[in-house]
Amino acid sequence: MDLLQASFSEIASAVKSKKISAVETTRFFTKRIEQFDSKLNSFITLDRTAETQAAAIDARIAKGEDPGPLAGVPWGIKDMFCTKGLRTTAASKILENFVPPYDATVVARLRSSGAVVLGKLNQDEFAMGSSNETSAFGVCRNPWNTKLVPGGSSGGSAAAQAARLCAGSTGTDTGGSIRQPASFCGIVGVKPTYGRISRYGIVAYASSLDQAGPMTNTVADAALALEVMSGRDGRDGTTSTLKVPAFAKDLNSQVKGLRVGVIREYMKTEGLHPDVLKTVQKALETLRTQGAEIVEVSVPLTEYSVPVYYLIAASEASSNLARYDGVKYGYRARFESLAELDLDEFYGRTRGEGFGKEVKRRIMLGTYCLSSGYYDAYYNKAGQVRRMLRDQFREAFAKCDVILSPVTTAPAFAIGDRISDPLAMYLNDIYTVSTNLAGLPGMSVPFGMSSDNGSGSLPIGVQLTAAHFAEQTMLNVGLALELASGLKGKVADVQR
């Protein structure tokens, strides 16, 4: 079996039929981590019990039991997800030594489906960033060219997946943090409808925007993983009570008669890399030739999506991160004596030393937005615009079944290129944040490669967005594009 190309179903079937053991599969991927991750820095913590987990799955199969649809499939987990007995840092100094006593719901569901956890993946600190350069554990690198960023915040997940250091990986998406790195690294990344997947056990950044999702090598794998992860969770009151569809079973590539929307405001070519524009146009033409109808729609408020997003996200981050003060858990600044310590100094030094620059920037921005005299002018106003944006998307989906757009303005950029310019970094999310503000499902599918301008030819994804809880339609269109792209399951050459 070629484990570099094997799908989740193929691995699980081979493990269940004893053609290969879960232990052998796990060893294959751990050896790839040992061989290549020193060049990528995609893992923060390795789970030394991975082979033990795999052996337990083999033992269950020997007894005639069915471990689940992901039997023996090795996964990497973004370090925002709590993992019982395994360090969870959110790529921060302040949580550097935190070991949770429980699994996040997503992790628990993966385990109960037979998945093996290989370790925790690198990311931007507290998921705040678009390049994986804000991690307290060092920069993660793009396997297509290690001088480039893998995207963020789920950069470690995307890099490890693209280099096939794991068979599947998890990400979180607050404003594009699954889709953007998926595009940069040439993999499939799915952000489901808000409420489709439980947020229980995920370190909170912006609670009304955060959503977990799978990052995989193919659309079929993403569909199966989404099915496993989704569903009502009594520990997260925001999860939907809707029945989880059979995403994998119902997956098909028929697009004839579907209406594919193009957002007029997204197709302004100013600032859009010509290779990205070419890839989007090619994707639209591909769907047209397969029988889909291309229609133009308008969502005028997308023009304000970036400032609205950062007002809301920073405000919620200010509230969520207030718990990290050095009192109950996490990093605590060292003091010669605690007896006569001033409380403000205690909090100030602990948080000043424990948080990175980008996290402190967003906390300060959010605190300002929530402060007396500014709440109505900023946070409340942003919330009102958000609701209007959601309504405009509903009007757009009355005219189309799915929307196709760019994921980012350009392919992956160089490490260090934008980290000192926060505004330029924030504008990188211009095509993705609207999806989170409206709570819609979105995904990135590899569809093109850039021209070689000295950095090598780089992957370019296209973004699909669907109406609330219409992930099946989105996945089906994604499959049609994947089959036409010639890029299905393409593994990055880390030797470059």
Q: Compute the 3-state secondary structure of the chain and give helix, strand, coil in percent, each to the nearest 5.
A: 40, 15, 45
**Read out DSSP for 447-481?**
EEE---SSS---EEEEEEEESTT-HHHHHHHHHHH
What is the phi-psi region of residue 494: left when phi exceeds 0, alpha when psi lies from -120 to 50, beta otherwise?
A: alpha
Residue of 206, 79, 176, 190 whose CA lies nearest to 426: 176
Residue of 273, 287, 284 whose CA lies nearest to 450: 273
Report how far residue 289's alpha carbon sits from residue 147's, in angstroms, rounded to the nearest whole number.
38
As given in the structure block, the two tokens for residue 69 are 């649809």
Residue of 166, 168, 130 whose CA lies nearest to 149: 130
Report how far residue 256's alpha carbon sits from residue 286's, in angstroms, rounded to the nearest whole number.
12
Does the N-terminal peptide bond of residue 177 adopt cis geometry, omega within 30 degrees of 0?
no
Which residue is catalytic, options 42, 153, 169, 405? 153
Q: Which residues contact 75 (CB under 8 A, 6 or more apart)?
A: 110, 115, 116, 117, 118, 166, 167, 168, 169, 170
Report how far residue 144's alpha carbon sits from residue 246's, in angstroms, rounded to the nearest whole number.
34
Asked whether the beta carbons of 224 and 73 are under 8 A apart, the reply is no
Report how far residue 172's alpha carbon sits from residue 468's, in angstroms, rounded to the nearest whole number.
18
One-letter amino acid of 243: K
Given CA atoms 467, 472, 473, 478 in this order, what sign does their dihedral have? positive
Report how far residue 193's alpha carbon sits from residue 174's, in angstroms, rounded to the nearest whole number.
12
| Overall size of the chain counted in residues | 496
Which residue is catalytic, options 177, 305, 318, 450? 177
Report how far residue 241's alpha carbon sits from residue 368's, in angstroms, rounded to the nearest whole number.
36
Given CA atoms 110, 69, 481, 455 in this order, what sign does their dihedral have? positive
Which residue is catalytic, options 16, 78, 93, 490? 78
Q: Which residues contact 328 (CB under 8 A, 6 or more apart)?
A: none
43: enclosing H helix or E strand = strand 43-46
153 is catalytic: yes
Report how far residue 177's alpha carbon sits from residue 429's, in angstroms, rounded to the nearest whole number.
9
78 is catalytic: yes
Q: Could you give the dihedral angle defined by the CA atoms of residues 260, 266, 270 and 273, in that order, rounded to the nearest 10 degrees?
A: -60
Given CA atoms 229, 233, 239, 242 in this order, what sign does their dihedral have? positive
Report how far residue 495's alpha carbon sits from residue 36's, in angstroms, rounded to the nearest whole number.
8
Catalytic positions, written as ranges: 78, 153, 177
